[in-house]
Amino acid sequence: MHTEGEVNLAEDQAFWGPIISSYSRAQALEDGVLVAVPQTMAEEAGFRLPVTLTANAWAACVALPPEGDRHGQDEDGRLWDVLWLAGFTARQRRHRDQSRANFSVSVYDVEREQAIVTELVVVAGPGDEGEPVITIMRPNED
């Protein structure tokens, strides 16, 4: 017997059928689909939970070309901007019991000719073992 709200895998499989395939957070990190944020930087930005960015979010807002003039930009600075904005947004939503919040980040293109505004989403959800984790992604990456 299980309590209300408790997941019963046997009942779920009887209704939905067997699990055909699964893809864990650990596999996504290993494959490069998710990029782990250094824990020290995440903590400095106010996160107590592990934080990752999707590869698409990283490419849009953090990554710089490996060579050439970066016009005073570096990936740590761009990552800090994303984390600070995500943390600020998450703290504003915390009192509303929301696990998801949209925000925008503005980064310069490599030539520093124009700012590019990118929409992102910060999501609090379960990790592989049900532990709370944070993922920052593009809005279409659910």
Whether 9 has a pLDDT exceeding 70, the answer reads no
Tens digit of each residue's pLDDT (9 = 90 or more) over 92-120 = 766 566 788 899 998 776 665 667 788 99
What ranges do the domains of the chain cover? 23-137
Q: How confident is the model at residue 40 (pLDDT cuts 50, 70, 90)?
A: very high
How high is the pLDDT of residue 110?
Answer: 62
Tens digit of each residue's pLDDT (9 = 90 or more) over 51-68 = 999 999 999 989 886 665
- Please, which contacts does 132-135 make with residues 24 or more away whose CB atoms are closer than 8 Å? 132/49, 133/25, 133/49, 133/50, 133/51, 133/52, 134/42, 134/47, 134/49, 134/50, 134/51, 134/52, 134/86, 134/90, 135/34, 135/51, 135/52, 135/53, 135/54
How high is the pLDDT of residue 70?
Answer: 58
Residues 98, 124: Cα–Cα separation, whole Å: 9
Cβ neighbours, 10 Å, residue 67: 6
How high is the pLDDT of residue 23?
Answer: 87
Whether 3 has a pLDDT exceeding 60, the answer reads no
Q: What percent of the chain has a predicted confidence (pLDDT) above 70?
A: 79
